[in-house]
Amino acid sequence: MAELEMQIQKEYPSYTIPTGVLLSHPTVEEMDTYLFSCAYEMNLNINKDVSAYMDYIIPLSPQQRRLVFMCELDPESSAQFNEPVVFSMRSKSFDEEKFVSVLNLIVMRHTILRTIYIGNNQVVCSGTEAFLANRMLDTEPKYFVAQPIDIKRTSAHFAISSSPDRIVICLVFHHVAVDGYSISIITEEMKAFYVGEELSAPSGQYSDYAKKSSQSLYQLELGKWREKLKGKSFQLLPTDRPRTAKQTFDGSSIQKSLPVHLHESLKKLRNLGNCTDFCILVATYKFLVYKTTGIGDFPVGFPSSLRGEEFSRTVGCFVNTLPLLGIVDSSVAPGEYLKNIFKAISEARNMDVPLDLIVSELKLERDDAVSPLFQVLLVMDIVDVSSSDDDIVFIDLPSRFSKYEQI
């Protein structure tokens, strides 16, 4: 701490750490919060007690901690956390002034969209500071949505391109501020406000969730995971070429459509196992791995939402990633196999703990080449982007990034 004080004194000769502060803020995290509050006070040039500004400082949620850490660790790869929303509108239907107004109205409704991140904290900016102004697109949409977002300055950016017939709008949010369901909330509210509808205020803000979740210790849940993972070691997914020494997060996407007859078969499977479509996705993938590699206990990851009713209409990153364990037993009937998978999913959700806590608290082995616990993430998003006509058309751009070996 003495070296830290000397360094601060060197860079900021007009400021001295008061006597006794090191005793009252003994940990790095506590000192980080204190120094950040001092910096905030000095930037505002207001001579008041530090305690008067503590309300501006909001702790990071467990989900945000990892994202902020990853962005600071490898800024060049931070674009992997971009969450783009790209769509086109008929030129005659697009009112630029109205759209910018609607977009900033949503930014004001959801404080997480006007939040910046410094150290272990986040700060909500004013509407003026976080105002999203229009800019013309000077590159292809696929390149614009792959530009990194500096979360120390903003959580989103957008641009438009115009043609005689249609306008293309590119919105990009950082994952630290949104999850998949948040995107649905934002698009629904944009549609509603654009046509003049009125909406009630969200019942809660993400800052409320962050304060609450940052204080959770998860001791009971961690104990269950410790027991479940005791003595376990898992094989890596076989690859057709050597893995790099460090994850690059470079990737691409492949799109496939299921024919109608397969949809009917999936319905029968769902009824047979009395389970969900996601359960069938997990069961099918794990069985595929078993048939092609012989690995029967291959773990996969899946997202789990920690929203709850209170935050059902709140924008923010509520999603957590959980490991799904379980052995594929080829001797059981298909219906029993689906029930076993469904049970494993339910058990994992009942032990919902931020993944980083599971890895750190249980002291699991880390490897720079692969993600801990699992290398495959299975996600099933249901996003309604339908339109009565071609007035609004959502554009699905190919991804250049992959957070895991397969998603």
Q: pLDDT tens across 360-383, in order?
A: 888 777 776 677 888 888 888 765
SS3 350: helix
pLDDT value at residue 150: 93
Residue 39: exposed, middle, or buried by beta-carbon count in 10 A (0-12, 13-18, 19+)? middle
- Three-class DSSP labels, 69-82: HHHHHCHHHHHHHE
162 is written with which tokens?
């115009």
If we measure between CA atoms, which residue out of 145, 156, 148 comes closest to residue 114?
Answer: 156
Sign of the dihedral defined by the CA atoms of residues 74, 80, 85, 87, in that order: positive
- How many residues does the structure list for the chain? 407
Residue 401: CB partners within 8 Å, gap ≥ 6?
Answer: 77, 79, 80, 82, 146, 249, 250, 251
Domains of the chain: 2-56 (no CATH), 218-385 (3.30.559.30)
| Residue 202, helix vs strand vs coil | coil
What's the whole-model pTM score? 0.77
Contact 299, 286 (CB under 8 A): no
Tell the burial category of 282 from Cβ atoms under 10 Å away from its Cβ (0-12, 13-18, 19+). Answer: buried
Angle 355-358-362 from CA coordinates, rounded to 5° = 160
Residues forming a β-bridge with 221: none
Q: Is 96 in a helix, a strand, or coil? A: helix
What sign for the dihedral angle of Cα 185, 138, 254, 257? positive
Cα–Cα distance for residue pair 229/295, rounded to 1 Å: 17
Amino acid (one-letter) located at 214 = S
- pLDDT at site 397: 78
- Residues with pLDDT less than 50, the chain: 44-53
Q: Report how far residue 381's alpha carbon sits from residue 383's, in angstroms, rounded to the nearest whole number.
A: 6
Residues 6+ apart with CB under 8 A from 351: 221, 224, 225, 228, 322
